Structure 1
Amino acid sequence: MINATFDPAGPGSSRILGVVSPYDMALDRELWRWTPPEVTLAFARTPFHPLVVDETMASAIGDDEEVRATARCLKAIAPEAAVYACTSGSFVHGMAGARRISEAIGDEVAAPAVTTSEALLEALALLGVRKLALATPYVPELTVRLEDFLAEDGRTVTGCVGLGLDRLIWQVPYGATADLVRQADSSAAEAVFVACTNLPTFDLIEPLEQELGKPVVTANQVTAWAGLKRLGLPLPGGGRLAEASRSVAA
């Protein structure tokens, strides 16, 4: 029997953040963990390519035509803003390449858009970081492209350590990533950046910041922060970047 007095209020309105991600993105849940309850993430993936994670793949997933077609899938739900959730795909062709991707997505969804690599530069600016260490899961050739991207923005890379992986990056255990960050860090680094939106990092950030005494920023963290910033919202949770975002919003 139906209870005639049951009159639910309903879920209420939700603010939509569009997410254009690579076809091999396996960490949707990690981005959701950075998302406040009033925001819905709407994912669209780029077309599949049978490639390993290297410069060729990074170029393929940042292809203008494919990025536009993927972003167009989000148009019907009218996101207020959108992110391109991929580090390598947005830095592989320098700052101009990153800008081209965010502009293409913004054109298609008619809303502000930002890439992970652009989000990194914005986060470094907020935190006042000019010198940083890099911890990446990438093959060496791809890591060099990241160093070049940062140099183009006037940032100094104090040290860099990589895992040399070209596949299954989402399976890297926390312990291996934590050791990678420790190896990359030095007294010259004002912060450590952990690259790749497919590398799990959520639960590592605060403990490593306490251990190292400096900001540890990660690909999914800066992506979520930059997207939420375009909605006028701070990044939830702990860590230096979240604290800084709340200070700015206050």
Structure 2
Amino acid sequence: MLYPGHAAEDDYPLAESALGGAASLPVLITEIESDDHTVEAMRAVGTGQRLLDGARQAAKHRPDALMWACTSGSFLYGWIGAHEQVAEISDATGLPVSSTSLAFAAACQELQVTSVAVAATYPAAVADGFSSFLADAGVTVVSATAHDIETATEAGSVDGDHLFEMVRAVDTDSAQAILLPDTALHTISWIDDLEQDLGKPVLTANQVTVWQALRMVGRPVHAAGLGRLFRDVGVTARSGTPSAIR
């Protein structure tokens, strides 16, 4: 997991625990200049030599796949740009690579979700970029809130009560699922409770990042505690592949 800076990277050990030892999900922190939730700062997080250096460093540990665990630092490049971004990392490392933004698109497709509500920590200028990205993926945003949280560090301090308020406020009958796009937001511990509260799938950034990583290498990912995406969809393991990502 290539994770920019520090905020909610401790969600990944929680996800690893929920998988019951089926996968190892080590996190490598990539260097950033700023964790400001501005278009300029978030685009800067997803480009340049620092990201590639981090990917090459992670590749030395011989993982089965790499995930760019950053949503805004991928969707702000647009649908084509997000694909080009992971292709560049893959070329530099020789590994399968995806990103959180692409994971959201894949998860919506797997759940046959075409209309969503988005509870974004970001300011509107950044949140609008996510809506545009989803539109290019064939997903319509029917309700959205931008909570104007100024930094990833601040997003990482959002507690469970605030998280539930964010999700309830954006929900609408026409939304088939609720999306929480920020990897700086702690969500892993609350996904099942959120889904029980709302009665529909809840897709969060760190959750879909883990799901996409396992999906890329064909691991079975049916698991309790990580929402419908892991309980109802899962991934069919390819024959001849090892049983864990390392």
Q: With structure 2 as the length reference, what TM-score do the two structures score?
A: 0.88
Higher RCO structure (Cα 8 Å, ≥6 apart): 2
CA distance in 2, matches of 1:221, 1:138: 18
Please state whether the residue corresponding to 1:192 is helix, strand or coil.
strand
After superposition, residues 95-110 of structure 1 pair within 5 angstroms as 95-110=79-94
Please state whether the residue corresponding to 1:128 is helix, strand or coil.
coil
Can you give the 5+ residue segments of structure 2 that lack an aligned partner in the other structure? 239-246
Return the letter of the residue paired with 1:195: P
**Matched residue, 1:216:** 202
**Matched residue, 1:48:** 32
Return the letter of the residue paired with 1:61: V
Provide, for residues 153-203 of structure 1, a one-character-per-residue CA deviation record: whole Å limited to 9, x for no partner: 221101001211112110011111111111111000000001101101122
Q: Aligned-pair distance for 1:73?
A: 0.9
Q: Aligned-pair distance for 1:204?
A: 2.1
The runs of at least 4 consecutive aligned structure 1 residues that moved more than 6 Å come to none
Distance 1:235 1:69, change over 3 A: farther
The structure with more radius of gyration = 1
**Matched residue, 2:45:** 61
Please state whether the residue corresponding to 1:21 is helix, strand or coil.
strand
Paired positions, count = 231
Distance 1:235 1:228, change over 3 A: farther
Return the letter of the residue paired with 1:210: Q
Provide, for residues 34-62 of structure 1, a one-character-per-residue CA deviation record: whole Å limited to 9, x for no partner: 22324333333222314522111111111
**Matched residue, 1:135:** 119
Distance 1:46 1:247, change over 3 A: closer
Please state whether the residue corresponding to 2:194 is helix, strand or coil.
helix
After superposition, residues 9-158 of structure 1 pair within 5 angstroms as 19-23=1-5, 25-35=6-16, 36=19, 37-50=21-34, 52-158=36-142
CA contact (8 A) 2:218 2:235 kept: no
User: What is the root-mean-square deviation of aligned Cα atoms in Å?
Assistant: 1.8
CA distance in 2, matches of 1:235, 1:65: 36
Question: Sequence identity of aligned pairs in percent?
Answer: 30
Q: With structure 1 as the length reference, what TM-score do the two structures score?
A: 0.87
